């Protein structure tokens, strides 16, 4: 055998053994798991995390408080069990008062699509910054000029440092 072929075989053998060793290695730290929050939307409340009230006092929230750690990845699965379109969006605390300044989520991707009755939307985002926020449905389907949040369809969204 000439030298070239031997060197070629040795190189291939090293690559194969190296690849096998690499595949056999325990994988590094797993990507952080997203925390899943299941919510059901209806007129005009969010059900989930043990909260199940259909009607709440005027001016109070009608959804569970969601508490997270800053930097945590969260997956929200929103099922529309109502009869109108609904959404889930995380917004600034003042969003309820400032009716004009709407449809901008406070975190990237922290807004679902408009979800039709019977449908489910899933969004995944990172609660980037500690603070006190709210989530809610800011659609006004059938409630114009009120938004669904104005009828109670919101909750506190607390991001701890
Ligand atoms: Cu709604």
- Whether pLDDT at 12 is above 80: no
Find the 5 Cα to ligand 1 centroid distance in Å.
71
Domains of the chain, earliest start first: 35-160 (2.60.40.420)
Q: How far apart are CA 30 and CA 125, in angstroms?
A: 18
Structure tokens, 96: 């309820």
Residue pLDDT, tens place only, 145-158: 999 999 999 999 99
CA distance 134 to 112: 14
| Ligand 1 centroid to residue 107 C-alpha, Å | 19
Q: What is the DSSP letter of 116?
A: -
pLDDT tens-digit map of 41-80: 999 999 999 999 988 998 899 999 999 999 999 999 999 9
Bridge pairing between strands 35-42 and 73-80: parallel
Pairing of β 120-126 and β 35-42: unpaired
Distance 125 CA to ligand 1 centre (A): 20
What is the DSSP secondary-structure string of 89-114? EEEEGGGGT-SSS-S--SSTT-BPPP
> What's the 77 CA to ligand 1 centre distance in angstroms?
15
Q: How far is the CA of 82 from the centre of ligand 1 (A)?
A: 9
Whole-number Å distance, alpha carbon 6 to ligand 1 midpoint, is 71
**Radius of gyration in angstroms for the set of CA atoms belonging to the chain, rounded to a whole number:** 24
pLDDT at position 99 is 72
Using the mean position of ligand 1's atoms as its centre, give its distance from the Cα of residue 130 in Å. 26
Closest CA to 125 of 53, 68, 55, 47: 68
161 CA to centre of ligand 1 in angstroms? 30
Structure tokens at 138: 């800011």
């Amino acid at each position: 055998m000439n030298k070239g072929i031997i060197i070629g075989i040795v190189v291939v053998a090293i690559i194969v053994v190296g690849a096998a060793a690499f595949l056999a290695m325990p994988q590094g730290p797993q990507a952080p798991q997203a925390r899943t929050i299941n919510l059901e939307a209806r007129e005009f409340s969010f059900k989930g995390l043990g909260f199940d009230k259909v009607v709440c006092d005027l001016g109070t929230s009608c959804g569970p408080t969601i508490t997270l750690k800053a930097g945590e990845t969260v997956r929200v699965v929103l099922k529309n069990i109502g009869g109108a379109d609904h959404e889930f969006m995380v917004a600034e605390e003042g969003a309820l008062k400032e009716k004009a300044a709407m449809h901008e989520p406070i975190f990237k991707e922290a807004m679902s699509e408009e979800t039709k009755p019977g449908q489910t939307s899933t969004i995944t985002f990172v609660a980037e910054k500690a603070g006190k926020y709210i989530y809610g449905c800011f659609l006004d389907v059938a409630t114009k000029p009120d938004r669904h949040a104005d009828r109670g369809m919101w909750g506190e969204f607390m991001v701890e440092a």
